[in-house]
Amino acid sequence: MLKPTVGPIIGHTTTNHARIFLRGKHNKNTLVFAGVRYRRLGEDHWSKGDFAKLEPERDMCEVFALNNLSADSDYEYQAGWFSPMRPAHTVDTVKELPLQWPRQVYHFRTRSSQASLPRAYIVGSCRYLRMTAGIAWAPQLGDRIFASISRLVEHASPPVSAQVMTGDQIYVDDLNIVAPDRKLKEILQKYRVAFSQVNIARLMSSLPTYMILDDHEIEDNWPANKRKSDDYLYANAIRAYELYQASHSPAHALTNDGLINKRLDKYWYQFTEGDIEWFVTDSRTRRNLSATDRRILDADQEQTLCDWLIHTPARVKFVVTSVMFYPDQKRSDDDAWQAFPEQRLRLLETIRTHRIKNVVFISGDVHGSLTSRLTYSEDPDFEVHTVVSSPLCNSRMLPYATAATFTLDQPLVCTAAGDYRHELTSGVISQDNFSHMVVEARRLQVNFHDREGKLLQSIGIPIR
């Protein structure tokens, strides 16, 4: 067996379940299979192995579902791909072959079933990796921050449960002016290169990673800049996104026999860890830009989000939106939530009127990091926070956000009954960075680190 050409990537992980993504290589006129085997750390015997036939239509990618795992446990696993000598093999018959597994052993840990333990997460977005003719230019610039994240994860207490990447994991449109990528093979190559760099590959092989797309997985400011000819681009970009990002996420349900249901009808999803819940929105592909019913989230997603906020028993509720919920930018911005004020107000009113506590909006996009607190003039009990974490790696062609980028001296929304007012609770970080969030009993600690891992700021947000 050969090492995966991309991956393995640990995706959605629970107390008893984990998903592993990997890619093999197309061999013309030859069947290709991939396999994964695993064991609990300290055990002598490997599992029998799970196998799948790789298909060119899926870019030779597969996601394996490991079920019936033990909670709060360390596992080690091996993964690879191969082409059998005989062309008549099936998934069942290759299980009997005397396979030589790749020597590389990877590790992951299942979640704890204890509800109130401290939990930690890595959050980041906007990882620019310029590609020319399918080759990364200066790839170390776009990969070095993941070495720093790995070092933090190795020594973190409490242990880091997952990495949440909130958008622009690749830039399909990095050379839009000169030579835009529009073909499926070009976009797939970007994913292969971006996810197989040394440091990010090492990190994602052991730390569960959750992803959601933003505009650059398709095109800058999508769909506001959409042209009629962009249907071809969109179809290819979304196909690549589904294969490399959505495939190992909770957006895919499990079948009754414990396999990944490859049918996908939405990109937004939820996941839970103890008394913490995440709602990861798709704030990019379900937009309605009509003047009569402007929406950044479609009606079904908005209703599901509101119902979740009202009824979830979670102590802390993280809502991921790839573009900023607030504060607003000074320049006219038709891309973030400030361009959809009615829907934003409906969410805020839902949180306020139902007296929902400990809601934190998580986003990226603006190439600057910050935390901010939102209050309501006529209700001292209302409080919402936001954590913005961006970028993991900026392009030299794009500016960083600063405090001067945002409108900070006036209310976010003025209503007949009162005003929603916000204030920064951190400085605005204008350099490559990531956030390390620790949920404790009485506070959310947000630590921003630079690309070398140095602590830039640490902010404590009370948990009520």
Q: What is the pLDDT of residues 410-420, one digit of tens each?
A: 999 999 999 99
CA angle 326, 328, 330 (to 5 degrees): 165
pLDDT top residue among 305 and 96 = 305
**Beta pairing partners, 462:** 443
Share of the chain above pLDDT 90, in %: 90
pLDDT top residue among 133 and 347 = 347
Q: Which of 149-153, 246-250, 291-295 is least confident?
A: 291-295
- Over residues 384-398, the mean pLDDT reads 94
Residues of the chain with CATH 3.60.21.70: 119-462
Q: Is the pLDDT of residue 176 over 70?
A: no
Starting from the edge strand earliest in sequence, which strands make up the sheet with 443-450, in order? 209-211, 160-165, 119-124, 433-439, 443-450, 455-462
pLDDT tens by residue, 343-357: 999 999 999 999 999
- Over residues 261-270, the mean pLDDT reads 96
| CB-side neighbour CA atoms (13 Å) of 310 | 11
Type of residue numbered 268: W
Share of the chain above pLDDT 70, in %: 98
- The owner of tokens 């998903």 is 19
Q: Is the pLDDT of residue 177 over 70?
A: no
Strand-pair category, 316-320 with 160-165: unpaired
Concatenate the DSSP letters of all residues of 51-64 into one string: EEE--GGGTTEEEE
pLDDT tens by residue, 4-45: 999 999 999 999 999 999 999 998 889 999 999 999 999 999
Q: Would you state the pLDDT for residue 86? A: 83
Q: Would you state the pLDDT for residue 412? A: 97
Q: Would you state the pLDDT for residue 129? A: 85
Identify whether the C-beta of residue 209 lies closer than 8 Å to the C-beta of residue 151: no
CATH number of 119-462: 3.60.21.70
Distance of alpha carbon 201 from alpha carbon 191, whole angstroms: 12
Global confidence as pTM = 0.96
Residue 84 phi, psi (nearest 5): -70, 155
Q: Would you state the pLDDT for residue 182? A: 86
- The owner of tokens 């840990």 is 109
Q: Would you state the pLDDT for residue 133? A: 66
Q: Would you state the pLDDT for residue 344? A: 98
Nearest to 79 by CA among 255, 264, 248: 248
Nearest to 421 by CA among 327, 309, 319, 316: 327
Q: Is the pLDDT of residue 132 over 90?
A: no
CA angle 14, 61, 286 (to 5 degrees): 70
Q: Would you state the pLDDT for residue 23? A: 98
- Over residues 195-210, the mean pLDDT reads 97
Residues of the chain with CATH 2.60.40.10: 6-109
Type of residue numbered 300: D
Q: Exposed/middle/buried for 47, CB within 10 Å: 0-12, 13-18, 19+?
A: middle
What does each C-alpha distance from 205 to 19, 153, 155, 185, 218 come to in angstroms?
11, 13, 17, 24, 26
Q: Would you state the pLDDT for residue 178? A: 60
What does each C-alpha distance from 424 to 58, 327, 405, 421, 428 come to in angstroms?
44, 9, 13, 11, 8
Q: Would you state the pLDDT for residue 228? A: 86
- Per the prediction, the chain carries an average pLDDT of 95
Pick among 2.60.40.10, 3.30.110.60, 1.20.272.10, 2.120.10.30: CATH of 6-109 = 2.60.40.10
Q: Is the pLDDT of residue 297 over 80?
A: yes
Identify whether the C-beta of residue 101 lies closer than 8 Å to the C-beta of residue 353: no
Q: Is the pLDDT of residue 458 over 80?
A: yes
Q: Is the pLDDT of residue 134 over 90?
A: no
